[in-house]
Chains A and B, each alone.
Chain A
């Protein structure tokens, strides 16, 4: 059974220059214990999608429509109070920048304790003991000393570990990780990715991983959803998506990343470019959102938006031509 089911999610923002349709009719699901990656470039709506799931979009100027069913409840129909009981408890989140998402004037111990005392009703001593346990779990050396330290005393990698400790403190069913390693150096990124994989096995939480880094996706995701201009354009199991991407945008993305080792195997080539830019989401888009940048676009694409069609087992893509094999890589 799906843990999370999102149906026709629309998150729009009122701006002085018109309504920005940041997320425009996105549906997806996440099964228990599964890792779903949402990939796309800046402005594709991946972060707005995750913020909408947590109902962290300020309304107004934002407006969320559609349905977000989590463990049988529609999150969009809950009161603020009920929603607060879910945030940080059943669903928790890790952000990209651990420096700005930790409170600089509170010790890290206090910040871990806070979630435990509010959601689990632990007393201070029990919460403190659990905080030390969490820091040990995320691999912070000398956890007893570190609980008393402030975020500025920790390195970037350590801070991200603390964020993960806070997020996992209440054993959430779903963890949303928004670019969790983007701000980190590669050797630290490798540590954090390994930690996330280990913890997933132990805690069993489902993960929604938001990222633009296809390497990170290949490393930890099971299923991938590709977003472009506020829409879902393709979704498939990870191996399938990398082996036979169907949507021209996904193909473009994969072709635009150089592979490590390509200079040795003689596979080095000019990087594929996707010409042009993302369309302005404040203007209505007729036809396929990608038509303006797609080499295969025809009048059909410019007039009618393609729906998501089944292109293979558990593999959907929104392209008029993908099924015909003409664009299959």
Chain B
């Protein structure tokens, strides 16, 4: 078997927060605290979880938008978390990103033509000026925007069209992996469907791998091959789509799924309503990070942190209840 396209080993990112009058006392936000996963070529892995769980930080670490605290990010067998600037430059071409907000992620002063041409020039992909033009128009066709639109600026487009431009810009570099950070979350229902379909088509056409970061579980189920569920900077469960949606093992995954309102009036369901809020990542709870809200908490959860254990083929869960010797729930 060929090595995975992307491998993340024990990734940690702690952001310092300054406190006090002279800003001497420094605490840390444990945004991502030991996360490991792999993505195969052409695969979609979704990172799901609520605000502040660290899913976007993982995406940004892979893009190396900042240096990580510890751990490894390996792209196609080569470490990129500590790569020198020249090597990194070439690696950046292979991992691109589509952001959530198509209003703030496109430069309002550039024409669409220049937005798309920039990555092609940066990475020296075009052989000539004609080749550049061919590539730029082909990108417009790929994302199904009219070619005449090349001379317009971002403000002349609707949200969905802007997101298409953002996708075209990511494709311009001919990447192998695209990080989609809540790429469809800001869009209206009917436009969201258009962009989801487009992403799926592009994945098939170009054999792209996607890291799909989202809080929308129905969209995730529709798009993904595998899912990693995050809570307070850790992965609590990772499994293929079928296992996550048919037989979720971690109590948090179950609660998350049961909380999604279904578009079926009168559907019989008993949502697991979690108590309280997500604790602060500055001072995450000791033991299992979910123990303060877990309906199945028992003594061991408060003192010992569970690690990811195999719970079936390709399914991994970080919960003491998955340990064969688990005590009964309180």
A residues touching B (Cβ–Cβ < 8 Å)? 41-42, 141, 155-158, 185-191, 193-194, 212-219, 221, 238-239, 242, 252-264, 268, 270-275, 277
The prevalent SS among residues of B at the interface is helix
Chain A min CB distance to B21 (Å): 20
Taking a contact as CB atoms under 8 Å apart, the answer to whether B193 and A215 are in contact is: no
A190 B219 Cβ-Cβ under 8 A: no
**Do the beta carbons of A190 and B273 come within 8 Å of each other?**
yes
Contact A271 B271 (CB under 8 A): no
A263 touches B193 (CB 8 A): no
Q: B197 and A187: CB pair below 8 A?
A: no
How many angstroms between the C-alpha atoms of A242 and B159 in the bound complex? Answer: 27
Chain B residues contacting A256 (CB-CB under 8 Å) are 189-190, 192-193
Given A190-B273, A191-B273, is A215 in contact with B263 using a C-beta cutoff of 8 Å? yes
Say whether A257 contacts B189, CB under 8 Å. Answer: yes
Set of chain B residues within 8 Å of A274, measured between Cβ atoms:
190, 193
Asked if A271 contacts B50 (CB within 8 A), the reply is no
Closest to B160 in A: A277
Q: Chain A interface secondary structure, helix, strand, loop or mixed?
A: helix
Check B262 against A212 for contact (C-beta < 8 Å): no
Residues on the A chain within 8 Å of B50, using CB: 185-188
In Å, the complex CA distance between A42 and B187 comes to 9
Contact B260 A186 (CB under 8 A): yes
A194–B274 Cα gap in the complex (Å)? 12
Contact with A along B212-246 (1 / 0, CB 8 A): 00010111011000000000000000000110011
Check A257–B263 contact: CB distance below 8 A. Answer: yes
Q: Are A218 and B160 in contact (CB under 8 A)?
A: no
B189–A273 touching, CB < 8 Å: no
In the complex, B261 has a CB within 8 A of chain A: yes
User: Is there contact, CB below 8 Å, between B245 and A259?
Assistant: no
Chain B interfacial positions (CB closer than 8 Å to A): 50-51, 158-160, 188-194, 196-197, 200, 215, 217-219, 221-222, 241-242, 245-246, 255-267, 271, 273-274, 276-278
For residue A223, give the distance in angstroms from its CB to the closest CB of chain B: 11
Docked-complex contact B218 and A259, CB < 8 angstroms: yes
B218 in complex: contacting residue of A189, A239, A258, CB < 8 Å: A258
Q: Which of B196, B200, B246, B276 contacts A264 (CB 8 A)?
A: B246
Please tell me which one of the listed residues B51, B222, B258, B265 contacts residue A271 in the complex, with CB atoms under 8 A apart. Answer: B222
The reply to whether A260 and B242 form a contact with Cβ atoms under 8 Å apart is no
A255 to B196, CA, bound (A): 13
For A264, what are the chain B residues with a Cβ–Cβ distance below 8 Å? Answer: 242, 245-246
Whole-angstrom CA separation of A157 from B196 in the bound complex: 29
Query: Measured between alpha carbons, how far is A242 from B274 in the docked complex, in Å?
Result: 28
Tell me whether A189 and B263 are in contact in the complex, defined as CB-CB below 8 angstroms, given that A252-B190, A260-B245, A274-B190 are known contacts: no
| Complex: A216 Cα to B189 Cα, angstroms | 14
- Contacts A/B (CB < 8 Å), 5 sampled: A186-B215, A216-B261, A218-B267, A259-B262, A261-B221
Once the chains bind, are A218 and B261 in contact (CB under 8 Å)? Answer: yes
Q: Are A271 and B197 in contact (CB under 8 A)?
A: yes
A41–B188 Cα distance when bound, in Å, is 6
| Contact B273 A260, beta carbon cutoff 8 Å | no
Q: Are B190 and A253 in contact (CB under 8 A)?
A: yes
With both beta carbons as reference points, the residue of chain B lying nearest to A249 in the complex is identified as: B190
Q: In angstroms, how far is the closest chain B Cβ from the Cβ of A269?
A: 9
Which residues on the A side are within 8 Å of B245 (C-beta)? Answer: 260-261, 263-264
- Is B190 within 8 A of A187, CB to CB? no
Residues of B within 8 A of A185 (CB): 50-51, 215, 278
Closest-by-CB residue of A relative to B49 is A185
16 further interface pairs, Cβ-Cβ under 8 Å (given A188-B50, A260-B218): A158-B277, A186-B256, A190-B258, A190-B259, A190-B261, A212-B188, A213-B261, A218-B265, A219-B262, A253-B189, A258-B222, A262-B222, A264-B242, A272-B193, A273-B190, A277-B158
> What residues of A have a CB within 8 angstroms of the CB of B200 in the complex?
270
- Minimum Cβ distance to chain B for residue A297 (Å): 16
Q: For residue B222, which residues in chain A have a CB less than 8 angstroms away from its CB?
A: 258, 262-263, 268, 271
Q: Are A259 and B263 in contact (CB under 8 A)?
A: yes
**Provided the pairs A187-B274, A190-B271, A215-B263 are in contact, do residues A263 and B241 lie with their beta carbons within 8 angstroms?**
yes
Distance in Å: Cβ of A75 to nearest Cβ of chain B:
30
Minimum C-beta distance from A260 to chain B (A)? 5
Contacts of B218 in A (CB 8 A): 215, 257-260
Question: Could you say which of B50, B188, B273 has the most chain A C-beta atoms within 10 Å of its C-beta?
Answer: B188
Q: In the assembled complex, which residues on chain B have CB atoms less than 8 Å from the CB atom of A263? A: 221-222, 241-242, 245
Nearest-CB residue, chain B, relative to A189 = B259
